[in-house]
Amino acid sequence: MASKSAPIWTDASSDLLKVTRGFVLGTVDPGSTPGFTGDKTDAQTVGRTAAESLAHQQEMLFANSREGDQRKVLLILQGMDTSGKGGIVRHVLGAVDPQGVSHVAFKAPTAAELRHDFLWRIRRQLPVAGMIGVFDRSHYEDVLIGRVRQLAPPEEIEKRYDLINAFEQELVDDDTTVIKVMLHISAGEQKKRLLERLDRPDKYWKFNPGDIDERMLWPGYQAAYQTALKRTSTAFAPWHVVPADRKWFARLAVQQLLLKALDDMVLTWPPADFDVLAERARLAAS
């Protein structure tokens, strides 16, 4: 049992991040740590235990899939450049057996992908039973950069919100737990992180001059996020907005959201689908 002073993460903490009716992105402080009273060191303590739990739960999810259980998890990560999507993958998913994680980073669509519906390339990368799929960017780009850069006519963009909701309903009906996370950073923090990429030769490769072009469109992106969050945070696939100016908080929060999704599955080890005693006898004789 936790002592009364040790900061913990509760289900209520997760709920605080959920996007519900009346949500306004502009009122969320990217530097805040809603639902967690501890500091970085406390977060690391909570995180270490959670990492073991996550690895254990994922193995059970995988084990059950071998026996026909169709359940899988899809974690969708969105956020402005430098918001820490890659760090989440490295630090949170890094604790899980690589055999149980299927990671996809969606870039600008190729010419071949553009000849299909925007969901076509997404469908091809969906996690199979037993897996935790992680999308670093996703179909949401088609209502984010797609909207801000006017990559499609407004009436086409408009249709996509409903198409996305219908698509995600399909995923849920197919036993997918969909966890949607927006990593929310401030413009000031982004400037600091981009500057670091320009100051350190080991970070140059992460920098793209186009990042500054996108940065110039900050208000447009915030507005596109607000619309997307409002239109696509459903009961079956809600959005979570995770304040991300403090990396340690964002990592803790996403780890806990993932862990809660697995806990809610009430996983156990699958029973033997063979006669244990008979197999033991066959083995002894071999």
Asked if 221 touches a second copy (CB under 8 A), the answer is: no
**209: which residues sit within 8 A by CB, 6+ positions away?**
none
Cβ neighbours of 256 (radius 10 Å):
25
Can you tell me which of 18, 41, 48, 86 binds a second copy, judged by CB under 8 A?
A: 86
Can you tell me which of 98, 153, 173, 266 binds a second copy, judged by CB under 8 A?
A: 98
Produce one character per residue of 55-91: b if its CB has 16 or more CB atoms within 10 Å, e if not. Answer: eebbbbbbbbbeeebebbbbbbbbbbbbbbbebbbeb
Asked if 136 touches a second copy (CB under 8 A), the answer is: yes
Can you tell me which of 94, 108, 123, 175 binds a second copy, judged by CB under 8 A?
A: 94
Beta carbon of residue 103, minimum distance to a second copy (angstroms, whole number)? 5
CA gap 121, 177 in Å, rounded: 20
Biggest CA-to-CA distance, the chain: 72
**119: which residues sit within 8 A by CB, 6+ positions away?**
139, 163, 164, 167
CB nearer to a second copy: give 30 or 35.
30
Nearest residue to 257 (alpha-carbon basis) of 61, 18, 7: 18
Asked if 178 touches a second copy (CB under 8 A), the answer is: no
Asked if 18 touches a second copy (CB under 8 A), the answer is: no
Asked if 266 touches a second copy (CB under 8 A), the answer is: no
Can you tell me which of 29, 97, 162, 174 binds a second copy, judged by CB under 8 A?
A: 97
Count interface residues toward a second copy (CB under 8 A). 44
CB nearer to a second copy: give 95 or 143.
95
Nearest residue to 45 (alpha-carbon basis) of 3, 87, 13: 3
Contact 93, 103 (CB under 8 A): yes
Single out the segment in contact with a second copy by CB under 8 A; choices: 70-78, 89-97, 154-162, 249-257: 89-97
Asked if 61 touches a second copy (CB under 8 A), the answer is: no
Footprint on residues 101-130 left by a second copy (CB under 8 A):
101, 103, 105
Asked if 63 touches a second copy (CB under 8 A), the answer is: yes
Can you tell me which of 215, 230, 231, 260 binds a second copy, judged by CB under 8 A?
A: 215
Asked if 283 touches a second copy (CB under 8 A), the answer is: yes
CB nearer to a second copy: give 12 or 285.
285
Phi, psi at 256, each rounded to 5°: -70, -35
CB nearer to a second copy: give 4 or 107.
107
Beta carbon of residue 210, minimum distance to a second copy (angstroms, whole number)? 10
Binding site for a second copy (CB under 8 A): 63-64, 66-67, 86, 89-90, 93-94, 96-99, 101, 103, 105, 134, 136, 191, 194-195, 198, 201-202, 204-209, 212, 215-216, 269-272, 274, 276, 279-280, 282-283, 286
